[in-house]
Amino acid sequence: MAAKTAATNNQKASARGSDKGKISLSSIVKEAYSKNPTLKEITDLDALDTLMLGALTSKMPLKEVLKSWDLLRTQFVDWNEIRISSASEVAENFPKAEAPLELAVQIKEMLSTLYERRHQVSLEFIRENTLPETREFFKRSPELPDLCKLLVLAAIKEQPVIPMENWAQGGLIRAGLLSESKTSTQRQKDLYDELGEVPLVHAVLALHDEAFRHPDPAIELAKKKKLEAEKLAAKKAAEAARKEAARIAAAEKKAAAEAKKKAAAEKKAAAAAMKAAEAAKKKAAAEKKKAAEAKKKAAAAKKKVAADKKKAAAAKKKAAADKKKAAAAKKKAAADKKKAAAAKKKKTAKKKVTKKKVTKKTAKKAAKKTAKKTAKKTAKKKVTKKATKKTTKKAAKKKAGKKKTR
């Protein structure tokens, strides 16, 4: 199929090469307009718009470029929103591009660099730069497709060339539109000479679209081999995946059987555990009841202890009061005893004085009485002696009288 396509392309190239007067840049652009009418709507581009169109044009045919351009302009408010979006979100807007994610990353990096350097997402400063300054700026910027820089230099810095990527020049050579014997720069200048009233950006988009239709057979063959290798690798990967899936399925089946067995054992264990739990629950309930009773008993005991403690405290208080009372009584008794002792001492002293007085008086009286008695006794004795003497005298007188009588 690839060989047939290559042969057809070569035939077309020969036909166009032999009829150079009929095939021109304006006819290619005219054909592009007829197939893609919205191409005419791409006007009034600023420097950054031009750069982005170059990026898209280098990676896909014109039809896809226009679709992606429309998506980028409608899905995002401006280029700054693209800068802050994820690469995957940006890549979704050009799915037919060659390596869309890589292109999205390059675009985002370029926009981020602009923002870091200029604090805005704009390339308009390039209009004021010299050509060497512009080239230096691109040299220090993130990697982008060559067409981005070439298109900006031609459209914004007005270099007199129609910028073409090398692969596109090869396609146009195979199509018979460019001479293989000329240099790349001369080819681009020759195309510029044909530009006339055609907008430069439209010419670039139309020429690269035409080049996409005449791919390099060697590249196509390499792509085909790569595709076949990828298909074979995919087939092998699919077979390996199938075997792996079968192995996994078998392992899962075995695991499921083991899991079932384990589940049954667990169910049995769960039943036993439930039974044990029930028994434990009953035991716990009994223990709870016992604990409640013990608690109740403890509460009663506590209450009793509290009551006893209260009673003991009251008894202690009473004992203290009694002790205090006893101490007071003792103190009073001691005071009374002391008072009584003092009174007794006083009384004794008084009594002693009185007794002494009485004794003295009594002694005086007794002495007086004794003296009187003694005197009386003496007198009596005297009388008795006198009487005895008288009696004796009388007896003697009587005895004498008796003797006288005889």
In this predicted structure, what is the pLDDT of residue 12?
41
| Whether pLDDT at 354 is above 70 | no
Mean pLDDT across the stretch 19-29? 71
pLDDT in tens, 364-390: 776 777 777 777 777 666 666 676 677
Write down the pLDDT at residue 170: 93
Does the pLDDT of residue 140 top 60, yes or no?
yes
Q: Where are the domains of the chain?
A: 2-219, 220-269, 327-406
Confidence of residue 205 (pLDDT cuts 50, 70, 90): very high
pLDDT of 370: 72
What would the mean pLDDT of 112-138 be, rounded to a whole number?
Answer: 94
Answer yes or no: is pLDDT of 85 > 90: yes
Model pLDDT, residue 329: 79
Over the stretch 216-229, which tens digit does the pLDDT of each residue have?
787 767 667 777 77
Q: Which two tokens stand for residue 81?
A: 């929103």
Of the options 1.10.1040.10, 1.10.340.30, 1.20.1250.20, 3.40.50.300, the CATH number for the domain spanning 2-219: 1.10.340.30
Give the mean pLDDT of the chain: 83
pLDDT grade for 269, boundaries at 50, 70 and 90: confident
pLDDT digit string, tens, across residues 301-310: 788 878 888 8
Is 353 or 406 the better-scoring residue by pLDDT?
Answer: 353
Give me the pLDDT at residue 4, please.
Answer: 34
Whole-number percent of the chain with pLDDT over 70: 84
Q: What is the pTM of this model?
A: 0.54
